[in-house]
Structure 1
Amino acid sequence: MQNKLSRFFIFFAVLMLQACAGQSHLVQDELETVTKEHLKYYLYYPEDYFKSENKEFGLLLFLHGGGESGRNVEEIKDTGPPKMLVEGKQFPFLILAPQNPHAQKWWNTDAVVQLLDSVTQANRVDKNRIYLTGLSRGGSASWELATQYPEKFAAMAVVCGMTPLPYAHWIDKEMPIWVFHGDKDDVINVEESDKMVDKLREMGYDVRYTRYKGVGHNAWDRAYTTDSLYTWLASKKRTK
């Protein structure tokens, strides 16, 4: 697949007060800014995809952690579903795994969604069966995506992600969520997930929580080898 170049535009008005000859003048202006993001990615097709020309498939968007950020896209294969694909695991849906090109920056979630939309439009993807998952920094980005695009995803699985508690108010209640975290995580404290899960449950959300005892930040090693996770994802579909 060819590399994709994602763009997005921000428009805003600037109001300035200028003092001139003892009088105030209101000046209105507009500035267009352009941000470009170069995203490398892997795209997996299930075996059945090429056996039927009409069937639509679900798609899982996977966002890696900070350790795989940078320019070497091969590092994406070190964790999560991409690692399992290398080991021979088959999945019932497409898997889109982009790389965050910035070692010390958060995910550009707007660019990720533009990539996701492009891949969705270019392939036989059921838009009601788009799933979201991420670990660590990618888990934090998953929470962010769920708040910014609440009607896009059919289900979400977050592994040891950091999340502001107010996000709970902006997530679609129709989207099931599964959270994984280790109680010995010394990078992103397990309380991040504890508090978010408690808040979501208090508000009536459909949330599963797997809290690993004695596990550190690498909770993804166990979370992504949980076969029932993929069965659970594949069973979800947006009804709106």
Structure 2
Amino acid sequence: MGNQFLRFFILIGLLVLQACSAQSHLVLDELETVTKESLKYYLYYPKDYFSSENEEFGLLLFLHGGGESGQKMEYIKHNGPPKLLAEGMQFPFLILAPQNPHAQKWWNTEAVAQLLDSVVDANRVDKKRIYLTGLSRGGSAAWEMATQYPDKFAAMAVVCGMAPLPYAHWINKKMPIWVFHGDQDDKIRVEESDGMVARLKEMGYDVQYTRYKGVGHNAWDRAYTTDSLYTWFAKQKQID
């Protein structure tokens, strides 16, 4: 009886080992999957775009915050450059404003980069004058895009976004940066921008910082109505 039990235990052990071996083999196989993201977007053309057949224009990529994510497209017009466009403001460059389709998820920055490339290729865009900006969750995504695609943007403005300090080591040192944040922000604390700006300056980056006193999370109303922000963008061009 004891020997029968021992043989049964050994048999079970061999089966377990064989199963583990098979699972290990499956894990080591080379597998592949393809993921896709569907992005809706607004695209603004400056008034001179269609009257000039050969001129190339700059392009500003705007990434909205969490409040507009997963909502109707109309929500994008609530803040930032799209709001100013809806109010009749004119810009000297194209503006691309995609929507994050997920209410709770972060931006899919790879999908945004693919969209940006397709828009640039289909229009008369000067690839040396592509600008990046974002607010709140979109500001965090802007920092991420600056690290993932360091050679794509001529300038970047970030409004109250999370800013992981290690990103500073991967951002293109030739790209000018303008950071905005309210010192009473209770959603994304101002220390995020404080730390990143200090690190960038320490490393010799061209960065300027507007730190609003007494302003909470909504620093974007003041930041995006700063006229000098857009003249600053328009002056930037990538250096070879």
Query: With structure 2 as the length reference, what TM-score do the two structures score?
Result: 0.89
Distance 1:221 1:31 in 2: 47
Give me the whole-angstrom Cα distance separating, in 2, the residues matched to 1:60 and 1:141. 15
Asked if the contact 1:42/1:97 (under 8 Å) is kept, the reply is: yes
**Residues 145-184 of structure 1: CA distance to partner in whole angstroms, max 9, x if unpaired?**
0000000000000000001110000000000000000001
Which structure shows the bigger proportion of residues in helix conformation? Answer: 2
What's the secondary structure of 1:132's corresponding residue? strand
Query: Is residue 221 of structure 2 the alignment partner of residue 221 of structure 1?
Result: yes
Partner of 1:164: 164
Is the Cα–Cα contact under 8 Å of residues 135 and 160 in structure 1 kept in the other structure? Answer: yes
Matches within 5 A, 1:1-240: 20=18, 27=25, 28-240=28-240
Displacement after TM superposition at 1:19 (Å):
5.3
The CA deviation at 1:34 is 1.6
Structure 2: distance between partners of 1:25 and 1:135: 45
**CA 1:25 to 1:113, structure 2 compared with 1: closer, same or farther past 3 Å?**
closer
1:59 counterpart SS class: strand
Identity across the alignment (%): 79
Q: Secondary structure at the match of 1:49?
A: coil
* Stretches of structure 1 lacking an aligned partner (at least 5 in a row): 1-17
In structure 2, relative to structure 1, the CA distance for the partners of 1:229 and 1:31 (3 Å cut) is same
d(CA) in 1 for partners of 2:23, 2:40: 48
Q: CA deviation at 1:26?
A: 7.8
Deviation at 1:31, TM superposition (A): 1.3
Q: Which structure shows the higher strand fraction?
A: 1
Instruction: Report the aligned-residue RMSD.
Output: 1.8
Distance 1:73 1:92 in 2: 24
Equivalent residue of 1:48, what SS? coil
Distance in 2, matches of 1:165 and 1:129, equals 26
Partner SS state of residue 211, structure 1: strand
* C-alpha contact (below 8 Å) 1:19/1:25 kept by paired residues: no
Deviation at 1:71, TM superposition (A): 3.7
Amino acid at match of 2:81: P
The residue type paired with residue 182 of structure 2 is G
Assess if the C-alpha contact under 8 Å between 1:40 and 1:99 holds in 2: yes
Identify unmatched segments of 5+ residues in structure 2. 1-15
What is the Cα deviation at residue 25 of structure 1? 11
One-letter code aligned to 1:238:
Q
Moved over 3 A (4+): 18-21, 23-28
Matching residue's letter, 1:87: E
Distance 2:67 2:49 in 1: 31
CA distance in 1, matches of 2:44, 2:181: 26
- Larger gyration radius, structure 1 or structure 2: 2
Q: How far apart, in 2, do the equivalents of 1:114 and 1:25 lie?
A: 36
How far 1:20 moved relative to its partner? Answer: 4.8
CA distance in 2 between counterparts of 1:65 and 1:89 reads 21
CA distance in 2, matches of 1:42, 1:211: 30
